[in-house]
Amino acid sequence: MHEETSLTVGRVNRVLTERVRPAIHSARVPLEIATHQLPGEPITPAEGLALDFQPFTAGSAWGPAWGTTWFRVRGEVPAEWGGKKVEALIDLGFDINMPGFQCEALVYRPDGTPVKSINPRNQWVPVDAVAGHPVELFLEGAANPVLLDYHPFLPTQEGDIRTSSPEPLYRVRHMDLAVFEPEVFDLSLDLEVLIELQAELPETSPRRMRILQALDNALDVLDLQRIVETAGDARAQLAEVLASPADASAHRIAAIGHAHIDSAWLWPVRETIRKVARTTSSMTALIDEQPDFLYGMSSAQQYAWIKEHRPEVFERVRAAVADGRFLPLGGMWVESDTVMPTGESLVRQFSHGQRFFEREFGIRSKGVWLPDSFGYSPALPQLMRRAGFEWFFTQKISWNQRNVFPHHSFLWEGIDGSRMFTHFPSMDTYNSQLSGMEVAKASRQFKENRVATMSIAPVGWGDGGGGTTREMTGKAARLADLEGSAQVEWKHPDAVFDDAKAELTDPAVWVGELYLELHRGTLTSQHATKALHRWAEQALIEAELWAATAAVRLGAEYDFEEFDRLWQLVLLHEFHDILPGTSIAWVHREAVEVLSQVLADAEELSTAARQALAGEGDRALVFTPTSVGGGRALGSRALEAGAQAVEVALPEVALSEVDGGYRLENDLVIVTISPEGLITSAIDKATGREAIPAGKPANLFQLHQDFPNMWDAWDIDRYYKNRVDDLTAVSSFSASVVDGAAVVKVAREFSQSTIAQTIVLPAGSRTVMLRNDIDWHETEKLLKLAFPLDVFARETLAETQFGFQRRVTHVNTSWEAAKFETSMHRFVLAQEDDGFGVALVNDSIYGFDTSRDVDGDDVTTTVRLSLLRAPRFPDPDTDHGHHEIEVGLVIGADAEIATAEGIKLNAPATVVRGANEVEPLVSVTGAGIIISSVKLADDRSGDVIVRVYESLGRRTTGTLSVAFEHTGIREVSLIEDDLDDPRTGGELALKPFEVRTLRITRA
């Protein structure tokens, strides 16, 4: 036969697009439209339905950016439509390529009952009316601007209601009543599934040829002027090829309805609340229509929003959850970033998420569902296991720029050796449409095809919500058992993981961080959000400590409700587009406001508790949240969260002029500052070791051009290093001794910005503090602070949650080369094999890069901290303004010293005037053991919860001492559940980086 494939494909595509799909709705009549445009923020549905409405004509413009317009539509079902299925078709001016990123609406009946949402890919609404009866619907229309357009990443002022345009963005195309033709709809899906399937089959395979012939046969009997009347005849020609069963060895796809809704991104939090309501309304409606369909949604925060703001929607969700059709996933408060939050924050993500799901639905999530975060901390496997989770799901690593991840179902091993069964969907998306291409890709790419048969497909429009459509459920039904295709089945992820574990009896193991080779700039963008978040985390941990101490010592009230409220605000802002700095200006403006208030409220709780404990008096008492926070000897291994009278005896510090610069000396180190304000020498007096290589000064600010190929706020592309300006010019330079510390002040002006740096060497400290006051007004620039170190470091040690991770400094393979920007928490350490090292500690930054350099026989290591960026999308003024960033250069450090100095910088002591010294509730002995938190138990029993961890990566033993009346100590889970066989007592034996949660029962 002659080759006719292209003719058949072209014929089907044209008929499907131009004839069949338009005929899904046959007869139409226009609805009468009236509107009310709100002048400000959204109102409740009850208020919306009671508005005064003015006549509106299809074809008219509506909706300034971020505005809300309420539509009222009225009509009557024509008598001749009796017995037919009738729908309202509403096009608010949609671009079908932008579901979730454009205007949307939630449809209500006159009694306030939500029906479903409409969006670019879901424009129909069921009409419960008989012929001759009136129809009335109300639409809460949201005119969200399109910010990620066909030419993406263009700077725009539309990302904040304060700067957006008042001009209408959209124009209503039509609002009609129409007859829905189910046979035509089914024909459209038959054609779509088969035309997509044949494209993925071998070019001359018999299966493909028979599909093509069936398609031709179907179109031969389809009368293009009588689509409705002949659709059944056309379907009959396709029945045989659609009934042919899948191969016995066909890959199995476990589909789960999904609408990855970013809790904030290109829309503010207030709009996410409405997106969740719109999407869940549609998904509960689809559940009612499709008996096999399952829908999964993560993020307890999103359920809490609809419970508070749309209770009528929440009750539908609650009923669907009870029926096992709407599945709460993930067990977290939000789909959090996992690289930057503290270990305590991740614990609270789990505890608040699981507590909400259990309280509202009587269930717990068995797995962590986190498809779209920007890399995954190696501390996570242990934390997930100790919180009671059994599996982990993500997709984002498929976005790697350079290296293809070698597994889809595997064991992920963390820093402590804990392993978690993990799955990546081989379809490489969390927004599947069940297209032929996606289904074939899932089967073709699945790395475990030799020994396993199943992968997961999250199905639905996402990011901005929308969810699964009836077209997708229709395709799933056709793909359930179809020759040439993977088999598709709606399935709970718990069941999928159970099956996968049964198949994979000896899964592959991936050790260490799941580093995303993309979006490296998220460690630096929007510094104000990151800094306030770091400070708020610590303030809450301290507030819990002092409040618990006051509750035990004095019987004071412990405000559980307030702690829950504040923690939930912090957890919300850990969402993977807020904390990483990749949201619009509106989101980050509000984040700064909210986190500032959280910080103030937490400090108020601490202040009240400390003052109550101190009592009335005039003694200066130091309240120390950690042994190292109060300036005690480095290496102290006891966290003694108490208050002691101030001791004022301090060793001396010397300051002298040297060659136009200054020499700073105390009993531990000697530091030389050049006239350019650079550190040219840093000597550890105990060993005589020099930390700074000759001719390579440290404390060097460097400015780079920073214009990635795409994803501006997200990405740093490696070629940024090709252009750099060293900022050595000084506008002022002075030094003095202040309060027992040598202080050097350096001011710099460059481009549109200034840096006022204060260099401080306190007495008795091996850490040179660098306090940077930066007024930043750059565009598409990256500011680094470079520290060349006279250290041959084979690896760096960078703090992560409850420990640190090691990264080699060479680039032997493409995997190491891809890690040209990496993460830390409070410190990064470069150390030689003999134990001498130099650490950099910080109070508010996360990104850094490392390079190893050879000059003759000398090998040095350079660590550069990423301070500020200036991308223009999605916030055109990212980071513009004033920033305070504190960094410490720790001379002669090891892991223990680096850990202590990082804690000391981030958890400083507080002086309170009072009468009473305060004995710590608990203290711990044992090398490397640190207490992470002290709080009262979430169940409000009054028991005390203490979390400890091993911080140095080695086995250790120690003792937890309790200084109050108690009847027992037992280990509980990370989220305070009882264990089947708990360890008891205060004697501790910890493995490397092990985290333990101890419950102390008060007498």
961-1002 residue pLDDT tens = 999 999 999 999 999 999 999 999 999 999 999 999 999 999
**According to the model, what pLDDT value does residue 227 have?**
98
The angle subtended at Cα 838 by Cα 910 and Cα 775, nearest 5°, is 60
Quick one: angle between helices 269-289 and 470-478, nearest 10? 50
HSE-up (13 A, CA, CB side) for residue 448: 25
Confidence of residue 98 (pLDDT cuts 50, 70, 90): very high
CA dihedral 530, 532, 535, 538 (to 10 degrees): -80
Q: H/E element holding 159?
A: none
Give the number of other CB atoms < 10 A from CB of residue 655.
18
Phi/psi at 343 (5° precision): -60, -40
Q: Is 69 left (phi over 0), alpha (psi -120 to 50) or beta?
A: beta
Query: Is the confidence at residue 648, as pLDDT, over 80?
Result: no
Q: H/E element holding 729?
A: none
DSSP E strands in 404-484: the ranges are 409-413, 419-423, 454-459
The predicted-structure confidence for 846-889, as pLDDT tens digits, reads as follows 999 999 999 888 999 999 999 999 999 999 999 999 999 999 99
Hey, what amino acid is at 303? Y
Residue 248 tokens, joined: 């016995």
Phi/psi at 592 (5° precision): -60, -40
CA–CA dist 120, 94 (Å, integer): 5
Give the three-state DSSP class for 327: strand
Query: Is the confidence at residue 637, as pLDDT, over 60?
Result: no
Hey, what amino acid is at 931? I
Determine if the peptide bond prior to 874 is cis (ω within 30°): yes
Give the three-state DSSP class for 239: helix
C-beta of residue 691 within 8 angstroms of C-beta of residue 683: yes
Confidence of residue 128 (pLDDT cuts 50, 70, 90): confident
Residue whose entry in the numeric block shows the structure tokens 């510094």: 527
Query: Is the confidence at residue 350, as pLDDT, over 70?
Result: yes
Can you name the residues that pair with 890 across neighbouring β-strands?
A: 767, 839
Residue 870 tokens, joined: 């200036």
C-beta of residue 578 within 8 angstroms of C-beta of residue 268: no
Residue 288 tokens, joined: 């009612």
The predicted-structure confidence for 457-494, as pLDDT tens digits, reads as follows 999 999 999 999 999 999 999 999 999 999 999 999 99
Average pLDDT over residues 685-697: 97
Give the number of other CB atoms < 10 A from CB of residue 947.
22
Residue 385 to residues 297, 363, 391, 806, Cα–Cα distance (Å):
21, 18, 9, 22
Phi/psi at 833 (5° precision): -60, -30
C-beta of residue 668 within 8 angstroms of C-beta of residue 684: yes
C-beta of residue 418 within 8 angstroms of C-beta of residue 382: yes
CA dihedral sign, ordered 578, 392, 252, 321: negative
- Exposed/middle/buried for residue 562 (C-beta within 10 Å: 0-12, 13-18, 19+): middle
Residue 150 tokens, joined: 């066909």
Give the number of other CB atoms < 10 A from CB of residue 707.
16
CA–CA dist 680, 659 (Å, integer): 12
Residue 261 tokens, joined: 């809704």
Average pLDDT over residues 390-408: 97
Confidence of residue 288 (pLDDT cuts 50, 70, 90): very high
Give the number of other CB atoms < 10 A from CB of residue 569.
17
**According to the model, what pLDDT value does residue 631 have?**
30
Query: Is the confidence at residue 634, as pLDDT, over 60?
Result: no
CA–CA dist 906, 886 (Å, integer): 10
pTM of the predicted structure, to 2 decimals: 0.96
Query: Is the confidence at residue 635, as pLDDT, over 50?
Result: no
**According to the model, what pLDDT value does residue 650 have?**
55
Residue whose entry in the numeric block shows the structure tokens 């035509």: 184
Query: Is the confidence at residue 409, as pLDDT, over 80?
Result: yes
CA dihedral sign, ordered 183, 189, 194, 195: positive
Q: H/E element holding 943?
A: none
Query: Is the confidence at residue 216, as pLDDT, over 70?
Result: yes
CA–CA dist 392, 872 (Å, integer): 34
With pLDDT > 90 as the criterion, what percentage of the chain qualifies?
96
The angle subtended at Cα 409 by Cα 447 and Cα 434, nearest 5°, is 75
C-beta of residue 613 within 8 angstroms of C-beta of residue 546: yes
Can you name the residues that pair with 368 across neighbouring β-strands?
A: 392
The predicted-structure confidence for 136-175, as pLDDT tens digits, reads as follows 999 999 999 999 999 999 999 999 999 999 999 999 999 9
Give the number of other CB atoms < 10 A from CB of residue 133.
10
Hey, what amino acid is at 776? W
CA–CA dist 192, 218 (Å, integer): 13
558: which residues sit within 8 A by CB, 6+ positions away?
547, 548, 550, 551, 936
The predicted-structure confidence for 727-758, as pLDDT tens digits, reads as follows 999 999 999 999 999 999 999 999 999 999 99
With pLDDT > 70 as the criterion, what percentage of the chain qualifies?
97
Query: Is the confidence at residue 97, as pLDDT, over 60?
Result: yes
* Dmax (CA) of the chain: 102
Average pLDDT over residues 809-837: 97
Give the number of other CB atoms < 10 A from CB of residue 818.
19
Q: Of residues 245 and 130, which shows the higher confidence score?
A: 245
CA–CA dist 925, 903 (Å, integer): 17
932: which residues sit within 8 A by CB, 6+ positions away?
343, 344, 541, 802, 947, 948, 949, 995
Confidence of residue 4 (pLDDT cuts 50, 70, 90): confident
**According to the model, what pLDDT value does residue 131 have?**
77
DSSP string of 526-590, one letter each residue: SHHHHHHHHHHHHHHHHHHHHHHHHHHHH-----HHHHHHHHHHHHHTTBTTTTTT-S-HHHHHH
C-beta of residue 662 within 8 angstroms of C-beta of residue 672: yes
812: which residues sit within 8 A by CB, 6+ positions away?
none
Confidence of residue 636 (pLDDT cuts 50, 70, 90): very low
303: which residues sit within 8 A by CB, 6+ positions away?
297, 314, 317, 328, 356, 357, 360
117: which residues sit within 8 A by CB, 6+ positions away?
104, 105, 106, 107, 278, 279, 281, 282, 466
* Mean model confidence pLDDT for the chain: 96
